[in-house]
Structure 1
Amino acid sequence: MAAVCADELAVEPPAAARRLLGATLWSGPVGVRIVEVEAYGGDPTGPWPDLASHSGRGRTKRNAVMFGPAGVLYVYLSYGMHTCVNVTSGPDGTASAVLIRSGEVVAGLQTARARRTTARSDADLAKGPGNLGSTLGITLGDYGTPLFDPSSPIRLELAGALSAAEIATGPRVGVRMAAEQAWRFWLPASTAVSVYRRSPRAPRIETGSGPGSYR
């Protein structure tokens, strides 16, 4: 059964990202329903070259798990302090992963509130990748956890596939490279979706509305 679930993510990054929407990520007593994700590809030699990805320039000790099988936890620190949670995707040997950006706490609410005492509301508990990692209590030590193994402390439960009408699409948040890549997916009906912010370091592009027009 675990292999079957992982196989559903062994596909191209956008398809894996859409499949993760509505899924529940469990860590101990806390369960978070995923409502916002971003897809990331891999190195230039693979089918989905992506310079915004951690694997965009090849394999390293840090990103090695991205080159393995789908359905494994990839964890890293953003700005040296925020734990970001990713799920590997694509076939074994081909780098890609999906960043879990935001979710709704559906179980373990008291534990989640204790971990996120500064959250203004329950909808804010797991809004944004750093907050989501804190709410779930995930650390760098959880790197490489197989998410479909029933004995794992962190587990992923896929939900039924959603229709295209239920999913919104747009550019990824805060990346400098490939800033226009529309590989961010979210459920617009959820109040836990984060706010889009374009990186100030991303190159401006011409809008086509006239000379010198940018956005």
Structure 2
Amino acid sequence: MKKLQWDFYSKDTLSVAQNLLGKILVHEINGKRLSGRIVETEAYRGITDKAAHSYGGRRTNRTEIMYGTPGFSYVYMIYGMYYCFNIVTEKEDIPEAVLIRALEPLESLDKISLNRYNKSFSSLNKAQIKNLANGPGKLCNALAIGKSENKVDLCNGSLYVAKDDINDFNIKSAKRIGISYAQEAANYPWRFYIENNIYVSAK
């Protein structure tokens, strides 16, 4: 699999969020390659986006990675228990990122299932299969993405996004999820997903 490089990520965040759809998120760990097709993303546009951690130029130890080189991971915890995986975009000092919201599991399905449910993939019912990675916390759990995967170079490492030839799908846009606090920004149609894919978290 050919890894996407920094020039892919150093573009307009809304474009990157859409162009990531259909690509493959891969985590090579303990001799296994855990992967899933990206089917849903959300764009966060930094300083002017009230839903972004860097809104208003906020700069902390946590958000500093967003001001750096595109193509690095930004992983943070929500509700004290779930990790969210983001990819830094744009140019340096423009603190924007794309949240990966949902995956269609592809490789090492047993390991992904063990990570999520502590049982083999063959023993899952249809609902459990659909819910393997259809949310940001779920996909991090499934692909073993956590604190150690924060601030890593996605262009040169064991956690990366790979190209794929699939492009025969329609892209839909909708409001982002879970950001009701963000006033008018809560209504921006900056969530993108592959139409009719069962692994999308919400339509």
Structure 1 residue 158: Cα displacement? 3.0
CA contact (8 A) 1:123 1:191 kept: yes
What is aligned with 1:78? Answer: 78
| Equivalent-residue separation in structure 2 for 1:6 and 1:189 (angstroms) | 30
Name the residue aligned to 2:137.
Answer: 130
Gap change, CA 1:91 and 1:159, over 3 Å in 2:
farther
Please name the residue that 2:121 is paired with: none
CA distance in 2, matches of 1:184, 1:158: 21
- Distance of 1:160 and 1:18 partners within structure 2: 15
The structure with the larger Rg is 1
Structure 2: distance between partners of 1:145 and 1:193: 26
Would you say 1:168 and 2:172 are equivalent positions? Answer: yes
- Please list the CA deviations of residues 41-61 of structure 1 after superposition, one character each: whole Å capped at 9, or x if unmatched: 112xxxxx1110011132111
Q: Could you state the TM-score of these two structures normalised by the residue count of structure 1?
A: 0.81
Alignment partner of 1:8 is 2:12? no
Q: Which residue of 2 aligns with 1:153?
A: 158
Give the share of equivalent positions with the same residue, in percent. 32
1:40–1:50 Cα contact (<8 Å) kept: yes
Match of 1:19 in 2: 19
CA distance in 1, matches of 2:52, 2:139: 20
For structure 2, the 5+ residue unaligned runs are 119-123
2:49 maps to what in 1? 50
C-alpha distance in structure 1 between counterparts of 2:16 and 2:158, whole Å: 22
Q: CA deviation at 1:141?
A: 1.6
- How high is the TM-score relative to the length of structure 2? 0.86
* Aligned counterparts of 1:154 and 1:8: Cα–Cα separation in 2: 16
More helix by share: 2
Report whether the alignment pairs 1:90 with 2:90: yes
| Counterpart contact for 1:85–1:100, Cα < 8 Å | yes
Q: Distance in 2 between matches of 1:195 and 1:24?
A: 20
Correspondence for 1:31: 35
Q: What do you get for the CA RMSD once the two structures are aligned?
A: 1.9
Aligned residues: 187
Hey, what's the Cα distance between the residues in 1 that align with 2:21 and 2:152?
A: 20
SS of 2:16 mapped into structure 1: helix
Distance 1:64 1:93 in 2: 9
What is the identity, as a one-letter code, of the residue corresponding to 2:147? L
Per-residue deviation, 1:155: 1.4
Answer whether contact 1:77 1:84 (CA < 8 A) is retained.
yes
Gaps of 5+ in 1: 44-48, 197-215
Q: How many Å separate the matches in 2 of 1:13 and 1:23?
A: 16
Amino acid in the other structure paired with 2:63 = N
